[in-house]
Amino acid sequence: MRCIFFLLFIVFSITTHAQSQDPWFQYHSEKDTYSIDANNIHPAAFFKELSLSSGIEIQYDESIVKPINFYGKQVSQDAIFRFLEKEFSTLTTYKKDKDNKDVLTSLAVLPKGQFQSSKMVVAVDPVEEAIKYKKGEMNKKAMPTYVTRFDHLQKKIQQTIEKSAQQNMDREERRKQRMAEKQARREERMKQKKLKLEELKEKDPELYEKQIQRWSKFETKTEE
């Protein structure tokens, strides 16, 4: 009975992991299209993915919590916006880019029939967005829109965002460095232990076997 339960648990775990890894929102840069399989997706998640992939700042009323269901394969950004216009009230903002062309930079999403709100939420943290841009992780479609939007911010706001983004990146770099140093020290300790065991094997084979058994028991307890 225990074996059956264990096998069922493994199958369930594998299936759950596969589902969680399945990308429901994909942007295809080569065709400038999207493949979306949003099945009861929270609006916050939907708006965040759309904002990150397009570079458009999306703000939505915090009362919008009803799950979004949208399916489309190789659909255009306009098709997604038409869907949003059908489900919600939307307000768009355009800014001039460096070539003096109008660029859609912001989209406000409100409950149907409502056109103003004092409780708007930004889909993507500006600092998170700035980090993606600095690291080169932003796709080519989003970058020009993001740059245009960023250029229109007040200098003080630009400086605050860039400073926070750099601080976060520096902290992450220090964390990675500490982890790498910790791993290097662990590997060095293991190396020294193995060298001592090799010496002990030649000098005292019986004691060597006892040490190996003790080490094996310790590793087994650690894994448990």
Tell me: pLDDT of 178 over 80: yes
In a domain, 139, yes or no: no
Closest CA to 102 of 152, 33, 157: 152
Q: Which of 11-25, 32-46, 85-99, 133-147 has the lowest mean pLDDT?
A: 11-25
Which one of 66, 100, 124 terminates a domain? 124
Q: Is residue 33 domain-shared with residue 118, that is, in the same domain?
A: yes
User: What CATH number did the domain enclosing 120 receive?
Assistant: 3.55.50.30
Q: Is residue 92 domain-shared with residue 181, that is, in the same domain?
A: no
Dihedral sign, CA of 41, 42, 43, 44?
A: negative
| The predicted structure's pLDDT at residue 157 | 96
How much is the pTM?
A: 0.73
In a domain, 147, yes or no: no
Q: Is residue 113 domain-shared with residue 176, that is, in the same domain?
A: no
| The predicted structure's pLDDT at residue 152 | 96
Count: domains in the chain: 2
Tell me: pLDDT of 34 over 50: yes
What average pLDDT does the segment 68-88 reach? 95
| The predicted structure's pLDDT at residue 1 | 46
Residue 35's domain spans which residues? Answer: 21-124
What average pLDDT does the segment 217-222 reach? 57
Q: Is residue 37 domain-shared with residue 104, that is, in the same domain?
A: yes
110-137 pLDDT, tens digit per residue, is 999 999 999 999 999 999 999 999 999 9
Which one of 61, 91, 124 terminates a domain? 124
Which one of 62, 94, 124 terminates a domain? 124
Q: Mean of the per-residue pLDDT values for the chain?
A: 86
In a domain, 30, yes or no: yes
In a domain, 206, yes or no: yes
Q: Is residue 32 domain-shared with residue 104, that is, in the same domain?
A: yes
